[in-house]
Amino acid sequence: MSPDYKGVQVTLKSADNGDGTYTNPIIQADYSDPDAIRVGDDFFMTASSFGCAPGLPVLHSRDLVNWQLIAYASPKVMPKAHYNKIQHGNGIWAPSLRYHNGTFYIFYGDPDFGIFMLKSEKAEGPWSEPLLIKEAKGWIDSCPFWDEDGQAYLVHGYAGSRAGIKSILAVNRMKPDGTALLDDGILVFDGHDGNGTVEGPKFYKKNGYYYIFAPAGGVSTGWQLVLRSKNITGPYESKIVMSQGKTEINGPHQGAWVSLADGEDWFLHFQDQEAYGRVVHLQPMNWKDNWPVIGDDADGDGTGEPVITYRKPDVKQTEMISPESMNDEFNGDAPSLLWQWHANPGLDWGKSFPGKGVFRMYCQSSSEGSVNLWDVPSLFLQKWPAVSFEAVAKVKLSLLNEGERFGLIVMGQDYASVVVENKNGELVLNEITCLNARKGSEENYTGDFQSVSSDLFLKVKVEVGGICHFSYSENGLDYKSVGLPFTANTGRWIGSKIGFFAQRMNKVNDSGYVDIDRFTMN
């Protein structure tokens, strides 16, 4: 009997249709570059988390369709001093999750520092602190492999922005305990001839063939490539095994091959949906002449296309959980696992107070010269959970000092927020927007200033297309619109996120704060 994992649902609407079928995406939330494994009757997944903390989410499922977030492997992003400051798009790229000799391993590449490894006896942790096993500039997307003879290897790609070259894959020998690489490696594949931007490799073995699954062609425009060889260092032959074809599922690639106990094969991958992030799909996988075929191969050419609705994997257990698990009453000693900071958090950024049933955010000083929130690390955010949804926060404001402000924000390279500020000792509310925040644009007020009380309900309604409408209420029943509709934009390699900020513009010897009583999604 597998453990009873405690977690929180990661998408508002289950992909499980309740009739033995599912509909993609299985996770309508931004879990980029997913990698997954089966251990007994349980499935586990991790994903890129870049500079957000905690990092390296660990998800659990019993049927590959219904997923819940159970832990993070890395409470802070390493090295800590570097990631105490916001690092948009940097940090933890394309991790690999493996289980070997009773131990869970995660390997990931940081394009600025090299290859890191973590391990744990349990998926839910505690995990070891990330260990830098190879210092290297531009080495990314690493995946380990342990062969039958006890030898260990690691495959990785290159980030052109740091290494000065991309679209190539290399294999290194590795210590069996995963703590160091043993050689300089060997290049095993060059994708410049028709498979540009090959990256994200994953290592497997079947029927005497070594397989490297790797996406190529770019995040939103690419395809799934598979390499195979009888020798782990090559030469490798290649084949495109899934592409968009006639479907609307763009860039279907980068993910994980998972086999069920009975040998049935499945493949998880992401699709880039811009402001909604990189959402996760599940595809059937079959074999033809020792090549995998992913998705539906209607014309029999060996290259599949993504399915939308399909039968569920043949497993004995399932564990559908309620969307209500996404709501946070802040009654525990820590907030919901869904929350992340935009950098390694400071101790004084925020704290759950179980006796009060609130999450208290303290107003943080603005960095000198900042004109918007793009470089503010103390943003308390979570991923979008659906194509359309409403989020409501009940808050009590104690903005004690002139210039302090608090907002419910939709954050990306463009952002907008319903914000309350202390102006001359009075609480006033408005909407702010900032377009091209990454380029240093200033914020603009888009509504009329309105005097409000310290007890408020703040709401954002997100419609199809990422169109956001902000409103507020003083009784939780009657809402007033604020400002203008706002169309959300992507972050840096991530989707738009939703959450809070608490900020002060002046230097004072004590900070104001805001108590978030509850946060609900529907």
Residues designated catalytic: 33, 199
Q: In a 3-state reduction of DSSP, which class is residue 276?
A: helix
The answer to whether 446 touches 434, Cβ cutoff 8 Å, is: no
As a whole number of angstroms, the distance between CA 206 and CA 290 comes to 8
As a whole number of angstroms, the distance between CA 36 and CA 55 comes to 16
Quick one: tokens of 397?
């404001």
Query: Which residues does residue 428 pair with via DSSP β-bridges, in sequence order?
Result: 421, 451
The answer to whether 315 touches 304, Cβ cutoff 8 Å, is: no
**Which helix (H) or strand (E) is 266 found in, with range?**
strand 265-272
Alpha helices in 220-272 (DSSP H): none
| b/e sequence 308-331, b meaning 16+ C-beta within 10 Å | eebebbebeeebeeebebbbbebe
As a whole number of angstroms, the distance between CA 402 and CA 20 comes to 58
Dihedral (CA of 97, 99, 104, 108) sign: negative
The answer to whether 8 touches 326, Cβ cutoff 8 Å, is: yes
Amino acid at the residue 293:
V
Nearest CA among 256, 309, 261, 308 for reference residue 285: 256
The answer to whether 22 touches 283, Cβ cutoff 8 Å, is: no
Residues with Cβ < 8 Å from 386, sequence gap 6 or more?
Answer: 11, 12, 13, 28, 462, 521
Quick one: tokens of 497?
């996120």
Q: Locate tokens 């043949």: which residue? A: 314
CA angle 136, 142, 148 (to 5 degrees): 125
What is the maximum alpha-carbon separation in the chain? 75
Q: Locate tokens 């310290």: which residue? A: 454
CA angle 303, 307, 311 (to 5 degrees): 120
The answer to whether 90 touches 342, Cβ cutoff 8 Å, is: no
Nearest CA among 91, 188, 183, 93 for reference residue 141: 93
Cα-based distances in Å from 192 to 86, 156, 388, 511: 33, 16, 40, 55
As a whole number of angstroms, the distance between CA 48 and CA 69 comes to 14
Q: What share of the chain is helix, strand, coil (3-state, %, to 5)?
A: 5, 50, 50
Residues with Cβ < 8 Å from 20, sequence gap 6 or more?
Answer: 311, 312
